Amino acid sequence: MNYAGLLRSALVALTRNKMRSLLTVLGITIGIAAVICVVAIGKAGQARVEQQLNNLGDNFVWIEAGGRAINGVRTGTHDTKTLTVSDAIAIKNQISIIKSVSPNVDDPVQVVYGNQNWHTSYRGVAPEYFEIKRWYVDQGAIFSQDDVDRAADVCVIGRSVREQVFGVDDPVGKVMRVNNIPCKVVATLVPKGLSLSGQDQDDTVILPYTTAQKKIKGITWLDDILCSAVSQDAVKTAGQEATALLRDRHHLRPEQEDDFNIRNPEDIIQAQLDASKTLTILLIAIASVSLIVGGIGIMNVMLVSVTERTREIGVRVAVGATEEAIQLQFLGESIMLSLVGGGAGVLFGILGSYLVGQTLHWPMEMSIEAILVAAMFSIAVESFLDITRQERRHCSIRLKLCDTSKARENLWKRRGNEDQG
């Protein structure tokens, strides 16, 4: 079997009906392009949700001061003074599945440098905070434990504070006022962008928690204790163990409510991630329907082609063509349509994904698996449907050809009998 000649014959047959072939190719092109675009958009959406989950922190466990109802009074958050530095030390020493702990004190603040000022918020923390919250240094170096021990007047600023207060100047080494306390800027942070709630995470000033307690806020307690568990699976257990430890340290009776809250923001983002994956699977399933529609379109074109070329098939049979050769001829045309439509679909899918990424400012990632699966699925579906319909059509053609041959044979017999008579 000359397969090169078979493909050339298929190409010539398809170019005889250019408009019909073009419309058939368009169906499979749209199907493959839709699958590739949907997969790329779905992966980009999941990547954004995963980035938000990563920005929350390293297996983040957040213990917040303030119970929901203490002695019958609903106090809300940050309204109790029971959370202390000794609680943070106890959590670090007694809970083995928590690897890092940082006290936290925060409040709004006005910062001033030269003739520039900006209203932002500060966080008083330990050096471990940068590891827990996955903050990375852009310039300079973060403060040390020695700075915490002596309540040094040093700070680290986010990108938004840097732009609003210092503009294009290099802030490292400069001194700005934080509520009239002169603080030396020792580092700037790599920007994180907006949080899940839409808050600008880069609009912050970070300094030693002892400095915040003694020189800015004037308190001895903590607003939060921020922790990092040893693994993602240990986050829930770490929160439960921290709850038991703090209740014991705060001498709370079984009937009393907690005077602190264990926050789990990761649950919200994880739910979003699961919903995003489910939606992506649903969209892929919907887009895959267009592949089947494209396959049916090619099947119908082949059916019409077989019907129109019954005489050609009869001639081929008459000169000795086998049924297999005839089926391969039409199958070659089907595969040619699939290949052209598949190639165009891949190109349009990649181009469409790029345009969507540029419009939404999402980092689009092409899925090689989606491209291969969409192309192979389309070829397989179309070939299967085409072979199935051709098989039934050829049965009908064979019956007609058999009837025609018998009729011709009877005609020649009658003519022979007449000649003999």
Distance CA 42, CA 38 (A): 6
Tell me the HSE value of 144 on the side-chain side, using a 13 A CA sphere.
Answer: 2
Distance CA 132, CA 100 (A): 7
Q: Which residue has the higher pLDDT, 302 or 189?
A: 189
Mean pLDDT, range 40-53, rounded to an integer: 73
SS3 of 205, please? strand
* Tokens at 198, concatenated: 């839409």
Q: Which residue has the higher pLDDT, 412 or 239?
A: 239
Of 59-73, 188-202, 237-251, which range is least confident?
A: 59-73
* Tokens at 376, concatenated: 């192979």
Distance CA 371, CA 366 (A): 8
* 165 has a pLDDT exceeding 90: yes
Residue among 120, 272, 98 nearest 199 (CA): 120
Q: What is the pLDDT of residue 113?
A: 95
Question: At CB < 8 A and 24+ separation, what contacts does 252-257 make?
Answer: 256/70, 256/71, 257/67, 257/68, 257/69, 257/70
Distance CA 154, CA 148 (A): 10
Percent of the chain with pLDDT strictly greater than 90: 35
* 140 has a pLDDT exceeding 50: yes
Q: Which residues contact 418 (CB under 8 A, 6 or more apart)?
A: none
Q: What is the pLDDT of residue 77?
A: 57
Radius of gyration in angstroms for the set of CA atoms belonging to the chain, rounded to a whole number:
37
Distance CA 213, CA 205 (A): 15
Mean pLDDT, range 259-275, rounded to an integer: 72
For residue 137, list its beta bridge partners. Answer: 189
Q: What is the pLDDT of residue 402?
A: 47
Q: Which residues contact 416 (CB under 8 A, 6 or more apart)?
A: none
Q: What is the pLDDT of residue 387?
A: 52
Angle, to 10 degrees, between the axis of helix 323-360 and the axis of helix 310-318? 140
Distance CA 343, CA 73 (A): 68
Q: Which residue has the higher pLDDT, 364 or 82?
A: 82
Reported pTM: 0.64
Mean pLDDT, range 270-288, rounded to an integer: 71
Q: Whole-number mean pLDDT of the chain? A: 79
Mean pLDDT, range 154-159, rounded to an integer: 96
Q: What is the pLDDT of residue 325?
A: 72
* 421 has a pLDDT exceeding 90: no
209 touches 148 (CB < 8 A): yes
* 166 has a pLDDT exceeding 80: yes
Q: What is the pLDDT of residue 175?
A: 96
Q: What is the pLDDT of residue 72?
A: 47
Mean pLDDT, range 59-79, rounded to an integer: 66
Confidence of residue 180 (pLDDT cuts 50, 70, 90): confident
* 200 has a pLDDT exceeding 50: yes
Q: What is the pLDDT of residue 408?
A: 47
Q: What is the pLDDT of residue 411?
A: 46
Q: What is the pLDDT of residue 263?
A: 81
Q: Phi/psi of residue 103, each to 5°?
A: -65, 155
* 407 has a pLDDT exceeding 90: no
Q: What is the pLDDT of residue 264?
A: 72
CA angle, residues 74, 75, 79, in degrees to nearest 5: 175
Amino acid at 27: G
Q: What is the pLDDT of residue 198?
A: 72
CA angle, residues 192, 196, 197, in degrees to nearest 5: 115
CA 343 to chain centroid: 25
Q: What is the pLDDT of residue 399?
A: 42
* 390 has a pLDDT exceeding 60: no
Mean pLDDT, range 214-237, rounded to an integer: 91
Of 17-26, 125-134, 145-154, 238-247, which range is least confident?
A: 17-26
Instruction: Give residue for tokens 């298929």.
Output: 10
